[in-house]
Structure 1
């Protein structure tokens, strides 16, 4: 199930998906030493890639109209060390030969390879091949009560297989498409929640670094909620990677915008670093999600137990509702219930799926 045709409507910076110039024309490769040059030209010959070899200049040119960029990258990567890949330079040109004026466009082979791999992401965004799976969040006091669902992004490849969100967001950062993907993920969550008839609270992830100005960058997200008829008080915007937030005031502005519009907010991965403990105190979110590395085996690890207990105590004193993530065993579930956590999420309860759960068996 893909998002609708309005998925990428928004401000110009967030909504446009441009074609990657790097995968067309001719790519010129410069190598740090003759040995590296020899390894690559030999690999090209073995794989029937007819490259133009400029021995005097120590570089080769490959016609990307004849040989797919993905194949060229796949031939070079196995024969070079990571250091050699970083030191090799690439210049993709649509027309003509390299000149001094083009030097500002030279990049490392490592960057070039990431950019080529990101072409698949551009196609996913252009074709709107995104959907959302839903994982329930339950009350620890009554695990049959579904308190909320978290919408989790899934991409869809050309064969209909699901692409992991971690891989998609890694490609997006490398290709400068984080703004477009984050917007598309938020709208996918909302559109699919409406289609699936989600009536519980809905947790929607967002990355603060993907939002320039909340007034403009979030208007299409808010518009989708309005059009879908969702109850704003049941929509929770969840800050992902809060431990990496390097501009707390920017994040504060975003959360203030959401709250002023009637939404709730949550901090994810609390406990992963000292930084997001400061954020919890400063931002006073409605919900916190405890980092799953802390909750894993919390019933068996005294150190983790003490840390998590203090975090839960702090949240309760601040009036913040707590959610423990990554619950995979009955022991973890029971420990969280007995130590003051309000809600739980994890494979022990239910895995994410395309259809939201409407009921659960008691744990």
Structure 2
């Protein structure tokens, strides 16, 4: 079993063949008028190209077609060089995004990113674990993680990127984090089509590196509008069967509501930074933090306050019964943990 979102990303070759289906008469006529050598083979329009710019020209012709014609069109590009192979059929819209964002696609394809670690502390300000965050490789082109994931989503590569980011985090943790410290790693529920298949590489990597599954916490990130609760619960169940804990990120903001939290009953509840900032001075924020904390205690979830930059906020959270914290007050994301923790 496999899916295009999880498999190896091949670069677009400088020469090759483009296939488009279904056949569209208007498109064929436009291409022939421009001398692009299009022909119909079986149920496809086949167009050879000699340089990548010609693919952009072809996509330009596709854009002038009525939306109703383009909606169901799919495209496949087969290179003639080192990576020559028959590529999967993908929606035309995804291919447009892929060609227009080739430099970003190369970052994803070549995995030019690293995992940085931000400490998570207990009420005594002792480090109990780290959250692993996607960052550019040292000396490489800069990018914003959310932009990388946005391009990946537009091009149908978010499953590949999400998986690669997780594996990078696991490997980084094996290098620098001692056993017994928690390793919080983000995941996108929408990238996991079949939990038993999609999570195989995650579990195998943890096992191969002789890491303890109990040290890992996989957390649902805030960008996801979770529409299929039963599917996410199945994902949670599989993680827990392997001894791995689960977390819900940014509770109190966006899609991560108290109601969702109570339905999912994660092992860890991370309260969004927007509620934490200056919470010592805001009665409305205080009531919401108390509501989340009390609801989490009902199912024995551990509560973590995110984005703490002021000691006063930390003190309020401790008094509210929150036993874990994360934020610049305790450390920014970095390539390495404190020197006294290095293996």
> Shorter-chain TM-score: what band?
0.7 to 0.9
How many residue pairs end up in the alignment?
300
The equivalent position to 2:7 in structure 1, one of 16, 25, 32, is 16
The 1:358–1:94 alpha-carbon spacing in structure 2 relative to 1, beyond 3 Å, is closer
The 1:277–1:105 alpha-carbon spacing in structure 2 relative to 1, beyond 3 Å, is closer
Q: Distance in 2 between matches of 1:276 and 1:357?
A: 34
Corresponding position of 1:345? 326
TM-score, normalised to structure 1, is 0.70
Q: Distance in 2 between matches of 1:171 and 1:272?
A: 23
Corresponding position of 1:288? 269
Q: Distance in 2 between matches of 1:170 and 1:239?
A: 17
Q: Deviations over 1:302-321 (max 9, x none)?
A: 21121112111221233111
Q: Distance in 1 between matches of 2:8 and 2:103?
A: 12
Q: Deviations over 1:233-270 (max 9, x none)?
A: 11111111376111101100000000011111111111
CA contact (8 A) 2:11 2:106 kept: no
CA contact (8 A) 2:115 2:134 kept: yes
Q: Deviations over 1:198-217 (max 9, x none)?
A: 43111111110010111110
Q: Work out whether 1:306 is the aligned partner of 2:287.
A: yes
Superposition pairs of residues 245-284 of structure 1, within 5 angstroms: 245-273=226-254, 276-284=257-265
SS in structure 2 of the partner of residue 163 of structure 1: coil
Q: Distance in 2 between matches of 1:161 and 1:191?
A: 22
Q: Work out whether 1:171 is the aligned partner of 2:151.
A: yes
Q: Distance in 2 between matches of 1:116 and 1:292?
A: 36
Q: Distance in 1 between matches of 2:273 and 2:151?
A: 24
CA contact (8 A) 2:222 2:254 kept: no
Q: Work out whether 1:135 is the aligned partner of 2:118.
A: yes
SS in structure 2 of the partner of residue 171 of structure 1: helix
Shift of 1:357: 2.8
Q: Deviations over 1:53-103 (max 9, x none)?
A: 9xxxxxxxxx88275989xx9xx9xxxxxxx9x99x9999979xxxxxxxx
Corresponding position of 2:30? none
The equivalent position to 1:65 in structure 2, one of 45, 51, 54, is 51
Q: Distance in 1 between matches of 2:55 and 2:311?
A: 49
- Following superposition, which runs of at least 4 residues in structure 1 exceed 4 angstroms of deviation? 20-27, 66-70, 89-95, 104-108
Shift of 1:20: 6.1
TM-score, normalised to structure 2, is 0.74
Give structure 1 stretches of 5+ with no counterpart.
1-9, 28-51, 54-62, 77-83, 96-103
Q: Distance in 2 between matches of 1:327 and 1:347?
A: 6
What value does the CA root-mean-square deviation take over the aligned residues? 3.9
Q: Distance in 1 between matches of 2:314 and 2:331?
A: 13
Q: Distance in 2 between matches of 1:274 and 1:195?
A: 34
Q: Distance in 1 between matches of 2:90 and 2:4?
A: 21
